[in-house]
Structure 1
């Protein structure tokens, strides 16, 4: 699935209805007192998280959302009808920011979450509120208050359990094809992945997890270089990172000037620098090393080279040697991942206590 992960929209709540100036006029009561009713409140604009949506692409075509205005008050102390609210559905995982103040208004992380983003104006008061012993026929009423108006930035952060990262052409798209039903584009040129891709890995009945494949990173990504920088946010919600590395970089260099002579260990360190610069918490996440493209060399040579990379890095977390193209060694990683996620969920449930929802 292709994802558009950022959009700007304008939301405008409804204005409140005006208060009414009116007087009671009935048979035998020609000079009745004031009976002007209040105006109705304007409708508000809400955002609603919907798990059936996975993209912000619809906001490319519709950017302005307005709630209904409240009706004016009427005579006989009749209140104006309140304006209807406008409910805008967004994907689960959407972060909402006020563009003018750069303030994060809310984070919709669960299906059904609602967020008020523009409050409707209050209705004005009718003249019946202004009568007194010295002013028995007031001709004073107040107008309705204007509704709030905001420009919002919507950012979608994927709610994936596992994130794939690595240089372009490390084999991330091939890997997610091998372990899930996702079908991202795969080719032998860099930056094949232009959008994040989600894949669901089913280990057995009722046991599954979601993997996110983001565009490849290059050095300087934290400063905006390359395509992966704008998608680093998707890794922030993941529980585990799988760091894919091309074990034979000389056979598949994505940029001759940037990566010529860059060893697998140097690739790992380069990505670590970018993660640390973007968000130190990303670097602190559990991260497993996946040395890919073992099929491009003899089996014993691949194993020897993998051991050298692990030793050079001083790697202490789990690591795997695989061929994503041939699906060799990929399934054991998925089983280990499922067990890891189960342990994390059990620990989180224990910390939350028995009364947690």
Structure 2
């Protein structure tokens, strides 16, 4: 089964928790804090593997989670960082955010890597919080949660040359006789429902990869027929070979077919209109083919390269392959492939400058409960270890500095009212500033 689109969930590993510990050594009565930091969580990394040809494996495993970092240990020992989770993908894989459609990475070369989500940093142990005022703090952070997201993977085949044209014009037959590929061939429309690849060896030693792509029909740019499945693979090709049934064996007009297919390419993506193209006038062994060929050349004009062939009898294939190789060489010189830059995913919020700085949290009311929401404050909740009094007081002081208490009171919150932040609930109290 050929699979070229899939949606998967990825999550970076959480950071390890920091530790509260103290030196317990003989003759060291005031040893001070000795709790180590937690290790960093692993990243989820996609890596290109040329041995893969489809996204089939992702149909059976759709969740990829990296390991969490090791917790901090006593005697000032830090926890170990977790290993990255490496996920193998075929060359030509495009990774996008499933919610925003933002491009994350375009993976085309063997061994190319992209970090899709990052692991969380390790929580700090109490050795990080010692001060002259509080030389023995009982404060330690929990590990930072790893980034997580749903991503869409789309495979666009890496072929040098693409065979385009209406169904049943002979694209699969042509690929089978010029390469070692063995696509399914049949006398009915959409025999080819998935792309097929073959390596073509030209007599002068040159070679290129040719793709037999599913047939186009009118409305393909809107997804009609196999439109979108076909057109995404055309984007990667450097040269197009437009195969026409020049005998009009199904009562079709070769010139109208040529115009319609080019129109679909242009409507799908504007730059495809200018992609180098050769016309392979197929089925020249059938009656009326010569007459249709002359009419086509007159209508299309002298700028269109037309090569009369017969895939069934192999007539004209040598000349066609030499012409394709020459056009491919020219296309590669004129339009070298630009290096792909990964757009790294970060969980940081956008910052906008204004005359009056807006708080980075919101407050809403659910019945009698005041709900405080915001990325920074929710992360603070997750990373605070509420088992220690010093940590609780640090949390209360931090949110007061953020202006949360003043904002709650401005919304009408009173002593004893329930405040919810993330999954935790508190009572508003003057005793601990929250």
Partner of 1:294 in structure 2?
Answer: 284
Q: Is the Cα–Cα contact under 8 Å of residues 34 and 74 in structure 2 kept in the other structure?
A: yes
Partner of 1:267 in structure 2?
Answer: 257
CA drift of 1:265 comes to 0.9
Choose the corresponding residue for 1:342, options 329, 333, 348: 329
**Which one is further off, 150-159 or 34-43?**
150-159
What is the aligned residue count?
A: 338
CA drift of 1:304 comes to 2.8
User: What SS does the aligned partner of 2:14 have?
Assistant: coil
The 1:315/1:265 distance shift into structure 2, 3 A limit, reads: farther
Are positions 1:312 and 2:299 aligned together? yes
Deviations 1:63-87 (A, max 9, x none): 1111110011011000011111001
Deviations 1:225-280 (A, max 9, x none): 0013322011112111111111233x33xxxxxxxx54111111111111111011
Partner of 1:154 in structure 2?
Answer: 153
User: What SS does the aligned partner of 1:77 have?
Assistant: coil
Residues 267-286 of structure 1: pairs in structure 2 closer than 5 A: 267-286=257-276
The 2-side partners of 1:225 and 1:343 are apart by: 33
The 2-side partners of 1:194 and 1:332 are apart by: 29
Are positions 1:117 and 2:116 aligned together? yes
Partner of 1:5 in structure 2?
Answer: 4
The 2-side partners of 1:229 and 1:20 are apart by: 53
CA drift of 1:346 comes to 4.5
Deviations 1:115-167 (A, max 9, x none): 00010000000001111112121101111100011111111111111111010
Q: Is the Cα–Cα contact under 8 Å of residues 278 and 324 in structure 2 kept in the other structure?
A: no
CA drift of 1:53 comes to 1.5
CA drift of 1:54 comes to 1.3
CA drift of 1:204 comes to 4.1
User: What SS does the aligned partner of 2:295 have?
Assistant: helix
Residues 1-357 of structure 1: pairs in structure 2 closer than 5 A: 3-204=2-203, 207-249=206-248, 251-252=249-250, 261-297=251-287, 301-314=288-301, 316-347=303-334
Partner of 2:432 in structure 1?
Answer: none
The 2-side partners of 1:190 and 1:8 are apart by: 30
Task: State the TM-score, normalizing by the size of structure 1.
Answer: 0.91
Q: Is the Cα–Cα contact under 8 Å of residues 46 and 117 in structure 1 kept in the other structure?
A: yes
The 1:205/1:140 distance shift into structure 2, 3 A limit, reads: farther
The 2-side partners of 1:106 and 1:304 are apart by: 50
Partner of 2:353 in structure 1?
Answer: none
Task: Structure 2: give runs of 5+ residues left out of the alignment.
Answer: 340-434
The 1:266/1:202 distance shift into structure 2, 3 A limit, reads: same
Task: State the TM-score, normalizing by the size of structure 2.
Answer: 0.75
Q: Is the Cα–Cα contact under 8 Å of residues 216 and 230 in structure 2 kept in the other structure?
A: no
CA drift of 1:3 comes to 3.5
Larger radius of gyration: 2
The 1-side partners of 2:334 and 2:252 are apart by: 39
Q: Is the Cα–Cα contact under 8 Å of residues 53 and 91 in structure 1 kept in the other structure?
A: yes
Q: Is the Cα–Cα contact under 8 Å of residues 3 and 197 in structure 1 kept in the other structure?
A: no
The 1-side partners of 2:101 and 2:204 are apart by: 44
Q: Is the Cα–Cα contact under 8 Å of residues 12 and 148 in structure 1 kept in the other structure?
A: yes
Partner of 1:258 in structure 2?
Answer: none
Q: Is the Cα–Cα contact under 8 Å of residues 217 and 229 in structure 1 kept in the other structure?
A: no
